Amino acid sequence: MPLLTPDLPFGQPPFGLLRDQVATVIDLVCRGADAALPDLRPGMLEVPTTHVVRKAMRRVKAALSLSNLEIRGEQELDDMTTADPTILGRIDITLKFPHQFGIEDAYVAIECKRVGSAFAELNARYVTQGVDRFVTGQYAAGHDWGFMLGYVLVLPVEDVVKAIDHRIRWTYGEQAKLLVENGHALALAILEGALVQNSSHAIRLKHIFIDMTATAPQHDVEGGQVGEISAL
């Protein structure tokens, strides 16, 4: 008689999400980011901004009595094939729905990055240090869905989307282009793109862009020294 349960649970695959679960993630992210705004300040870096957003998401979850998911902090990813610490990653925000409980590799990954129409370097990092981690399988290996949360420091968001979409298509091909999705009242834009993970598995990424202009570093924006902005 085996003592361990099978790797995959009986029934719904642990790496998949239903449409209403995808919608729940989007709604919770948008509401959480909006609720976080009073606690954010100009010049706040990416990591502390995400800490505030994550705490706000937990408050929103409690207020909405959402008992069917968990919101977790940074999830550290282990790689058992090498001791090289440079390939280890930390996903900014992770969620778990009931069908994913008890399975360490099953989660909803949300990677957060600052972007802006005046910040070409940050827009590039959104792809090279965000989207690419889903493509390589460093994040959400084998998952059907992943989520990117863009903190928009400088409007218009259309310029941000154009720059990121161009970078994605240039890097991964035309089939990876971003498509506009139904919006959310608290989001500047929501888009979706399909990517090939590890050369074989298809993963879809939702891109949620939120107005975070109140947190933009005023000196960099007003003084024109956008190249000096910190990446963190």
d(CA 65, CA 68): 9
Q: Is the pLDDT of residue 74 over 90?
A: no
189-205 confidence digits (pLDDT tens): 999 999 999 888 999 99
Is residue 201, in this structure, part of any structural domain at all? yes
Task: Please report, as a single letter, which amino acid is at residue 204.
Answer: R
Digit-coded pLDDT (tens) for 115-155: 999 899 999 999 999 999 999 999 999 999 999 999 999 99
Within-domain flag for 175? yes
Residue 229, in any domain of the structure: no
Which residues partner with 141 through β-bridges? none
Name the DSSP class of 111. Answer: E
Residue 150 belongs to a domain: yes
* Residue 23 covered by a domain: yes
Query: Is residue 122 a part of any domain in this protein?
Result: yes
- Phi and psi angles of residue 192, each rounded to the nearest 5 degrees, phi first: -140, 145
Is residue 65 included in any domain, yes or no?
Answer: yes
Torsion angles phi and psi, residue 81, rounded to 5: -90, -10
202 in any annotated domain: yes
Domain count, the chain: 1
Q: Whole domain around residue 163: which residue ranges?
A: 19-74+87-217
Q: Which of 6-15, 19-28, 65-74, 171-180 has the lowest mean pLDDT?
A: 6-15
Q: Long-range contacts made by residues 180-189, C-beta under 8 angstroms, separation at least 24? A: 181/206, 184/26, 184/27, 184/30, 184/208, 185/30, 186/30, 186/31, 186/33, 186/34, 186/210, 187/26, 187/30, 188/152, 188/155, 188/157, 189/157, 189/158, 189/161
